[in-house]
């Protein structure tokens, strides 16, 4: 077993979310996969042969405490490694995950390898007053800290709780009650709190932080699945254009690991039908 470590969603070659990947995980037991995640302390991706004719590979994902149905940056990192190691020359691959099928697009174009993956159309639910008050309490915020939009649960692959903040200073000054996050997320049916704020004066640019429910660490430097969910929240609130203009989400500044996640919404007419999620990958 070889574990390769990459950083996904780097910003100008720095930051990003470290990700251990095993490109040949056939025969690994669950306990062995979890042990990799525990030893490295990060979400980890495992590449296995496809179990059916509909997919090219099957991917599994573990954090130190449990298995995840889907992990965006581990999927992108694994596809990048497969291409970088010469294990695939394909430009399009179908990946089976426990949250459903994902299509990956690999571009080389005589330059750095780039990867984008699909996510389905987001589903959203505005939280009620009591639920929203509970989120504000755990994040140690008041209603005056919010933009005039609802706190929402949003999902493409995993449910995230979107919290619209009025300023970047408020976002990066957050000091949540970390000990209360798991119980709150369980009550909300969420896998993490994802507060965000717009960059004033720059269209389609936002910044966010992710406080996961129960991953075994308090904060993520870059969370692709949360950013994909956010894209549909931004669309619902009229904060992004109703077209494929790229959306950039910065994350990890408060951790000293500034990262950039890139998104493009897809439409059938005026109806959003999904998005593409991508970003830089570098060896770690």
**Does the structure show a pLDDT above 90 at 119?**
yes
In 3D space, the residue among 236, 62, 100, 258 whose CA is nearest the CA of residue 162 turns out to be 236
Is the same domain home to 215 and 226?
yes
Contact 233, 162 (CB under 8 A): yes
CATH of the domain at 110: 3.10.310.10
Q: Is residue 191 part of a domain?
A: yes
Model confidence band, residue 284 (pLDDT cutoffs 50, 70, 90): confident
Here the tokens at position 237 are: 């609130």
| Share of residues in the chain with pLDDT > 90 (%) | 96
Here the tokens at position 218 are: 């308090």
Q: What is the pLDDT of residue 51?
A: 85
Helix boundaries (H) for the chain: 30-40, 72-84, 129-139, 168-172, 178-188, 224-236
Q: Is residue 42 part of a domain?
A: yes
Contact 44, 33 (CB under 8 A): yes
Q: What is the pLDDT of residue 111?
A: 80
Model confidence band, residue 1 (pLDDT cutoffs 50, 70, 90): confident
Is the same domain home to 170 and 225?
yes
**Does the structure show a pLDDT above 90 at 248?**
yes
Q: How many domains does the chain have?
A: 2
**Strands 205-208, 192-198: parallel, antiparallel or unpaired by DSSP?**
antiparallel
Q: What is the pLDDT of residue 21?
A: 98
CB atoms within 10 A of CB 172: 14
Cα distance between residue 40 and residue 267, in whole Å? 39
pTM (2 d.p.): 0.95
> For residue range 49-104, what is the model confidence (pLDDT) as tens digits?
998 899 999 999 999 999 999 999 999 999 999 999 999 999 999 999 999 999 99
Give 12's contacts (C-beta < 8 A, 6+ positions apart).
none
Q: What is the pLDDT of residue 93?
A: 98
- Residue for token pair 């990956």: 104
> For residue range 188-220, what is the model confidence (pLDDT) as tens digits?
999 999 999 999 999 999 999 999 999 889 999
């Amino acid at each position: 077993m070889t574990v390769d470590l990459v950083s996904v969603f780097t910003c100008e070659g720095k930051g990003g979310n470290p990700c251990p990947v095993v490109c040949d995980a056939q025969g690994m037991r669950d306990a062995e996969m979890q042990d990799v995640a525990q030893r490295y302390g990060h979400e980890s991706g495992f590449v296995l042969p496809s179990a059916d004719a509909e997919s090219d590979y099957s991917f599994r994902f573990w954090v130190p405490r449990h298995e995840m149905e889907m992990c965006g940056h581990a999927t992108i990192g694994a596809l990048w490694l497969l291409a970088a190691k010469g294990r695939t020359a394909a430009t399009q691959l179908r990946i089976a995950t426990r949250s459903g099928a994902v299509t990956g697009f690999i571009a080389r174009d005589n330059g750095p390898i780039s990867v984008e993956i699909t996510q389905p159309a987001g589903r959203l639910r505005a939280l009620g007053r009591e639920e929203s008050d509970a989120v504000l309490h755990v994040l140690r915020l008041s209603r005056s800290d919010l933009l005039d939009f609802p706190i929402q649960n949003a999902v493409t692959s995993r449910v995230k709780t979107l919290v619209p903040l009025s300023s970047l200073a408020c976002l990066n000054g957050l000091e949540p009650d970390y000990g209360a996050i798991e119980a709150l997320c369980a009550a909300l049916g969420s896998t993490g709190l994802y507060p965000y704020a717009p960059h004033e004066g720059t269209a389609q640019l936002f910044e966010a932080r992710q406080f996961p429910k129960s991953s075994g660490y308090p904060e993520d430097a870059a969370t692709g699945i949360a950013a994909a969910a956010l894209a549909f929240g931004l669309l619902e609130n009229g904060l992004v254009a109703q077209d494929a203009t790229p959306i950039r989400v910065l994350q990890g500044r408060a951790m000293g690991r500034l990262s950039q996640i890139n998104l493009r919404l897809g439409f059938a007419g005026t109806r959003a039908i999904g998005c593409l999620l991508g970003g830089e990958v570098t060896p770690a």
